[in-house]
Amino acid sequence: MTRRSSALLTPRAMAEADRLTIAAGTPGAVLMHRAGVAVADAVARATALGTRIVVLCGPGNNGGDGYVAARVLRERGFGVTVAASRPPQAPDAAAAAEAWGRAPVPLRDWAAGRPAVVVDALYGAGLSRAIAGVEADVVAAVNASGCRVVAADIASGIDGETGAVRGVAMMARETATFFRRKPGHLLMPGRLHCGTVRVADIGIRPAVLDGLAIRDFANDPALWCDHFPFPRADGHKYHRGHAVVVSGGLARTGAARLAARGALRVGAGLVTLASPPEALAVNASHLTAVMLERMDGPAGLAAILSDRRRNAVCLGPALGTGEATRALVAEALASGAATVIDADGLTAFAEEPSALFAGIRAWPGRPVVLTPHGGEFARLFGADPALSKPEAARRAAALSGAAVIFKGPDTVVAMPDGTVSIAANAPPWLATAGSGDVLAGIVTGLLAQGMAPFEAASAAVWLHGEAGQAAGLGLIAEDLPEVLPRVLGALAGRLAEAREADAADDD
């Protein structure tokens, strides 16, 4: 596994990868042919001979991919019709249309012959305008038809960089894309429109990525596995860090315990719950492996964190949103421990977010991770509908000086330098009370074990999503820490298999 495999290419970066490959000696027509074959393969994989197929071709290179796919499918014995609104403009696409050798039917007549499969090759990831007119009517009709739709590159109407719908967008069951995925394949609502995305090798060498300024990455183990703190044979609990989670008051203790359990399950050697005096008894009645220590306000937290072995702290879950919480955050930031600020720890600064950002920047180099959901994000950083989710998260990270986990079904992790990861593995049933508290604890546990903020935050988000998948429908937050051992075991096995495969390739 390498980080290169996680790279996401914006439409501009993909165009540059194409240009560099063509400049190195691979003709554009060859790349188009390989892309068209990949689309044909995707269609043929689950389509019986005799099935009627219509290929919708646009005027650009995406349409050229469609003409190639149509010709290849016809050569394999399928009944294929091409529908187009106008002839292709790009030279390689025009040559592909000529090789198809038949006049396309008008786009509005796409449904003639009652096709069961539609190949969407109208527009690719670089679409820069809203789909309108006849094309919009056809997209709506295809979506309503019940046909199986296979998209070339990306579902037409989806912005490849932002995942936004431009006018209308095709609902594909499957998408065949090329070389690397685009951010729009993972970001909402684009992810819903693209279906299952498969990446085809069309002959662009991975080394091309080294010449591109890649800032966007898919959040998968290849991105952070080299930094993951699996236990060592010669290690012990004191090598694996000591996380501290700050509890709320008497009636607000559960969220912190969920976070503490997440930190412990992900491998922190020790976890201590810092509890206000009035909540000591209720916390003590629920804790076993998690330790408990009395915390008398900000001074008490400072005393707990004065032991430098306590190297990561999480605060915010059910902590309250007043001045007392702001003071606790200030002590955590001053302590030198890696700091995760979640939930109430963020909302406490809604009226004066600059105070939080100044507190973070007062200690440069300290690992700090903020974990806002959409509402908390808007309160701290504002809401600009003109910004994509990755761009909003980048701006937030640069403004705050912290790593930012912008939560949601397409959770984005952003760093102040602009590096972003986008997750796509969270099941919808993960949206339940306490789920975010467990995530904050997982981040804290990984920071305690020495992971850097970007890798710790990205790994935590991925593990959280996998835990949601493993727990299944009906999960409650308490389930998530308990399935983490299964998720971690599967991850270890996956990485071992990848290393064996790499070693075999080297031989």
C-alpha distance across the termini of the chain, in Å: 17
For the chain, how many structural domains are there in total? 2
Start-end of H helices in 24-51: 28-44
| Same domain assignment for residues 163 and 202 | yes
The residue range of the domain holding 263 is 233-498
Q: For residue 406, is it within any domain?
A: yes
| Same domain assignment for residues 192 and 299 | no
| Same domain assignment for residues 287 and 331 | yes
| Same domain assignment for residues 153 and 249 | no
The C-alpha atoms of residue 157 and residue 506 are separated, in whole angstroms, by 42
CATH number, domain with residue 15: 3.40.50.10260
| Same domain assignment for residues 265 and 312 | yes
155, 184, 217 — which closes off a domain?
A: 217
The first and second tokens of residue 452, run together, are 């850097």
- Please enumerate in sequence order all residues whose Cβ is within 8 A of that of 121, keeping only pairs 6 or more positions apart, or say none: 39, 55, 56, 57, 58, 62, 63, 65, 66, 67, 69, 151, 152
167, 192, 217 — which closes off a domain?
A: 217
| Same domain assignment for residues 22 and 112 | yes
What are the beta bridge partners of residue 370? 341, 404
| Same domain assignment for residues 353 and 446 | yes
| Same domain assignment for residues 177 and 242 | no
Q: For residue 227, is it within any domain?
A: no
Per residue of the chain (507 residues), what is the pLDDT tens digit?
578 899 999 999 999 999 999 999 999 999 999 999 999 999 999 999 999 999 999 999 999 999 999 999 999 999 999 999 999 989 999 999 999 999 999 999 999 999 999 999 999 999 989 999 999 999 999 999 999 999 999 999 999 999 999 999 999 999 999 999 999 999 999 999 999 999 999 999 999 999 999 999 999 999 999 999 999 888 889 899 999 999 999 999 999 999 999 999 999 999 999 999 999 999 999 999 999 999 999 999 999 999 999 999 999 999 999 999 999 999 999 999 999 999 999 999 999 999 999 999 999 989 999 999 999 999 999 999 999 999 999 999 999 999 999 999 999 999 999 999 999 999 999 999 999 999 999 999 999 999 999 999 999 999 999 999 999 999 999 999 999 999 999 999 998 888 877 766 655
Q: What is the 8-class DSSP label of residue 103?
A: P
The C-alpha atoms of residue 459 and residue 226 are separated, in whole angstroms, by 11
Q: For residue 128, is it within any domain?
A: yes
| Same domain assignment for residues 329 and 459 | yes
Q: How many CA atoms lie within 13 A of 83 on its CB side?
A: 23
The C-alpha atoms of residue 380 and residue 472 are separated, in whole angstroms, by 33
pLDDT for residue 507:
56
Check: CB of residue 211 under 8 Å from CB of residue 34: no
Q: For residue 228, is it within any domain?
A: no
As a dihedral over the C-alpha atoms of residue 232, residue 236, residue 238, residue 240, rounded to 10 degrees, the angle is 30
| Same domain assignment for residues 264 and 201 | no
pLDDT for residue 504:
66
| Same domain assignment for residues 289 and 338 | yes
Nearest alpha-carbon partner for 226 in 6, 448, 407: 6
Q: Which helix (H) or strand (E) holds 374?
A: helix 374-381
217, 249, 278 — which closes off a domain?
A: 217
The C-alpha atoms of residue 498 and residue 278 are separated, in whole angstroms, by 50
Q: For residue 507, is it within any domain?
A: no
